[in-house]
Amino acid sequence: MKLVALVAIVAALAVPGALAATPTLNGTVGPGFTITLKQNGQKVSKLKAGKYVFKIADKSSIHNFHLKGPGIDKKTSKAAVVNVTWTVTLQKGKYTYVCDPHASFMKGSFTVS
Ligand SMILES: [Cu+2]
């Protein structure tokens, strides 16, 4: 009986780590002149290095979503209205995301440590 209980506890502790999902970040640009990057509804400002899934919603044919930083330079096409998913490994450093045609004010950044 005690062994069964112990096995159950060990299994319960081991499973979350084994099944830990890659964290998802939600990037949105448009339809207005806004660009955001959020995790669980909160604006992203700091992340730990590692693998992330970026779900990008490019909702406008006059904007794009362009992510740049150490090891990464990815963007959606300005003309396209698309949902894309990028699986990305973030490294230590500063990353920026901009809408290229309006980069002076449609922009954001976060740091990875
Ligand atoms: Cu724009």
Average pLDDT over residues 99-103: 98
64 CA from centroid of ligand 1 (Å): 6
The rounded Å distance from CA 39 to ligand 1 centre is 21
What is residue 95's predicted lDDT score, i.e. its pLDDT? 98
Name the average pLDDT for the chain.
Answer: 90
Report the percent of the chain where pLDDT is more than 90.
Answer: 81
Q: How many helices (H) and strands (E) does the chain have?
A: 1, 10
Q: How far is the CA of 68 from the centre of ligand 1 (A)?
A: 16
Q: What is the mean pLDDT of residues 63-83?
A: 97
pLDDT at 110: 98
The CA distance from 14 to 47, in Å, is: 24
Query: What is the pTM (predicted TM-score) of this model?
Result: 0.82
Q: Is the pLDDT of residue 15 over 60?
A: no
